[in-house]
Structure 1
Amino acid sequence: MINEALQRLLIENLTTATLLLDARLRLQYMNPAAEMLLAVSGQRSHGQFISELFTESAEALAALRQAVDQAHPFTKREATLTSVSGQTLTVDYAVTPILTRRETLLLLEVLPRDRLLRISKEEAQLSNQETTRMLVRGLAHEIKNPLGGIRGAAQLLARELPEEQLRDYTEVIIEEADRLRNLVDRMLGSNKLPSLGMTNIHEVLEHVASLIEAESQGRIIMARDYDPSIPEVLADREQLIQAVLNIMRNAMQALTTQTEMGLARLSLRTRTLRQFTIGHVRHRLVARIEIIDNGPGIPGELQNTLFYPMVSGRPDGTGLGLAIAQNIISQHQGLIECESHPGHTAFSIFLPLEQGTGA
């Protein structure tokens, strides 16, 4: 027989959000998965009416009351809930009445559809990035080999030229060959493995924020919303700085296109997420770093290819900044996501706080 303590332990480690309501539809218990989904504390929310946790239609409340009165279970697909924090969630949930001597309780099992869709999107994104990386590496190999021959031939030719002024032409060939080689190297990214050490992500963010504030000369309002409980992460500090700087510099450049620079705002936010899946690996604890700007947004036609090399929304852009940032975060077993519409662009960096371990 499984004792009560083990039963509670099992429920608390479920990835399915589970809530227990009394006959008056007031919360008696929620597991950590439900706390994370609804962004509330189960202890503080104890005794609250269900509408104080999330809102849905009047028909849904009537169905819950009917489930209490008739002890009739039911399931609802693709319901839209709004949490107290204002987040809109698409979920499936099952309601099971539990008959006790005193009253009928309701067990709610909530499965977020948004999360499943996000995981599928992430898997496709990671697969596309790996395919693109292999394509770029193959293309780079084909480019660098003849570039070396062209550069060497230009150097030999320069030695044989009778007039000094003719060497200007060979110098152009050599300089352009070097420029193309450097461009290919940037597309490939660093081949050096991360030099891992315990890193404070808030120190990284503040370091980059100081650089952006200096570059923008105070024309952008910087806002911070940090979670001080986030522990240090095992990471390469210099590479993290580069990844964050690439994203924040893009945001700064987008904000400079606004006519009213006094309203330009760049926000930094950090949070922890529990039992979070990146690709095929579920991590017990993940740090989420959000870089949010109120700029014009990213054009819809670019959003699906945003992290590909040479894709840029600016005429003078190289299209390498975000590709390099994604490559750095991938080396840290993490992921970057982007959500954008006019007036709101949010880049989210997810970093496992337990490197190399997955549940």
Structure 2
Amino acid sequence: MHSRAISDPSARAAAQIAIEQYGGASQLKVREVTLPAPAAGEVRIRHTAIGVNFVDVYHRTGHYPLPALPAVPGVEAAGIVDAVGPGVDALQPGQRVVYAGPPVGSYASARTMPADRVLALPDDIDDAVAASLLLRGMTAHMLCSAVYPVKAGDTVLIHAAAGGLGLVMLQWAKALGARVIGTVGSAAKAELAVAHGLDEAILYREQDVVATVRTLTDGRGVDYAVDGIGGPTLLATLDTVRPFGMIASVGQVSGDPGPIDLSVLGPGRSVALSRPSVFRYVSDPARYREAGLATFERLRSGLKAHIGAVFPLAEAALAHARLESGDTHGSILLRP
């Protein structure tokens, strides 16, 4: 490995959104820091767009504890490399990049990152688009390949189909030839999801989800259900899946369903329940790159990003409040 002269080795001022203790959105506070030159194997990135994900809320509340406090949340962003550390040859100062997943810390105008967790951003993909759906694209790749290999002819149920993950997941499954049924909270969200390829929308506030799914599948049930809601929704979803089908639990927006007795999965139901972690999935560098490149390819093949709201970085608390309200559609971004 040959050495590289460090570009812009001087320190750089940066704004961060940090939490000093777990709690509500008001815990997100602006602070100013000075970033040193990147160390060996690192790059320093000036952010142009920052993704907001529900896992950020889990980190802020302590539901998923962070390594230490105070801490800067955020796991996804796009930007421009402004300095590289010794030994970094794959990335150049001035290059557009994107990343998703740990280590946390994307709620900042700039940050340093391990170079092997950063992907070069192709010229034909916009920064905002990349920051709004790379993590969700990686999640969809995991859900449609590693958890349950979705194939043509499958019927897939997606809860919160008009949400950030839902819109990406439904397009991914459709591209693989699946029929997709989705639950949504309003007619407007149904219209949005259908515009992104959803085959049938279920208004869960007005319709019995289990009965409607059974009707739409002639009593058979779906092959695969993806639930990011949790709570009682996950338990009800058990009755929407065919025998020997699969449920993936990928979130708990409405709460933890609590311990689930294995007896509820069979023999009457005979279904499989998975609790996959995209962070664990992409902790392997080869899989991280594979999932990232697969997301880029889906974008080139017609995957549409839907950015529902953009907030200044300093208004991260408002972004979290909007996300937690449930009155969102698509993705939320922060702009430094």
Same fold (TM over 0.5): no
Between Structure 1 and Structure 2, the one with more helix by share is: 1
Name which one, 1 or 2, has greater alpha-carbon Rg.
1
Q: Normalising by the residue count of structure 1, what TM-score does the alignment of the two structures yield?
A: 0.23
